[in-house]
Amino acid sequence: MYINGVLEQRKDQLIRQSLLSDEFLDFVKRNNIPFETLISYYRCAIMEVETKFKVLNEQYALRYDRNPIESIKSRVKSYDSLLKKIRKKNIPLTLEAIEEQIWDVAGIRVICSFQDDIYLLADCLLQQDDIKLIEIKDYIKNPKPNGYRSLHLIVEIPIFLQDEKRNVKVEVQLRTIAMDSWASLEHKLKYKKNLPAEQLEKISDELKHCADISAELDARMQTVRMDIYKDGNPTKYEDMPLKVPNLPVMPQNPLMGLLGDNQKN
């Protein structure tokens, strides 16, 4: 009993002397800086891509009196989920490997008013000459078996630092309001895995059914919009002289040409 007490005391002393020593804390801090720096690059890349979407929204509002973007949500992957992904995918614990192999450290979710707006915005973004498309996954044309729909892009964008230019990857998810609300609810329910198998199957079927209804809702809202703006856009500002060259006028499927080699479902 006495021995155990002494051992505990010695252990505590050892931890304080070694793990909490100034040298060790300094070591942790020193190695933490490169990681924090890398994360700050992702924050910068998010700012760049977010601004691009805000500019497009602004220009579209001015020209067509309508905002294609309802809202934008951004996040840098949390430390916890980054570590989980490193473990799951067996990625080496180096900053280079994180940069090369994890493509969603920076994430932007653009919630659009109508389904066509998703393709319009993606098309406008991908036409910009500082954006490089790395991967595209069209879960709208090819929904996941559970019913999940969204357009996912992995893009690379340069950020300009004090003395260097770095290309940084960003994951962009574009969805309608209906797609987003379905995905949010499904995400919450995904964690309730401790239900009996039979009940889980019923819930999955029900969620798939809800996804089908939400897809139908998007299609009908799109038709209503087309009916209101017969040629795809209101004519109110049509004759206004534009400072920026023409936006594409509601192409039916602007990504058709891009989907080929990059589609990786």
Q: Which is nearer to ligand GTP, 104 or 123 (CB)?
A: 104
The distance of closest approach from Cβ of residue 183 to ligand GTP in the complex, given in angstroms and rounded to an integer, is 4
Angle at 149 between CA 217 and CA 78, to 5 degrees: 130
Burial 62-87 (b: 16+ CB within 10 A, else e): ebbebebbbebebebbeeeebeebbe
Task: Please state the closest distance from residue 265 (CB atom) to ligand GTP, in A.
Answer: 8
CB closest to ligand GTP, residue no: 148
Gap between the Cα atoms of 258 and 65, Å rounded: 29
In degrees and rounded to multiples of 5, residue 172 shows phi and psi of: -115, 125
CB-based contacts of 142, cutoff 8 Å, min separation 6: 265
Tell me the catalytic residues. Answer: 171
On whether the CB atoms of residues 91 and 102 are closer than 8 A, the answer is yes
* 217 close to 234: Cβ distance less than 8 angstroms: no
Q: Are strands 165-176 and 151-160 parallel, antiparallel or unpaired?
A: antiparallel
Q: How far is the CB of 139 from ligand GTP (least distance, A)?
A: 7
Residues contacting residue 28 through CB under 8 Å, at least 6 positions apart: none
Question: HSE (CB half, 13 Å, CA atoms) of 260?
Answer: 3
Residue number, 186 or 218, with CB nearest to ligand GTP? 186
Closest distance of CB 81 from ligand GTP, Å: 9
Q: List residues binding ligand GTP (CB under 6 A).
A: 104, 137, 144, 146, 148, 152, 183, 186-187
Minimum distance of ligand GTP from residue 187's CB (angstroms): 4
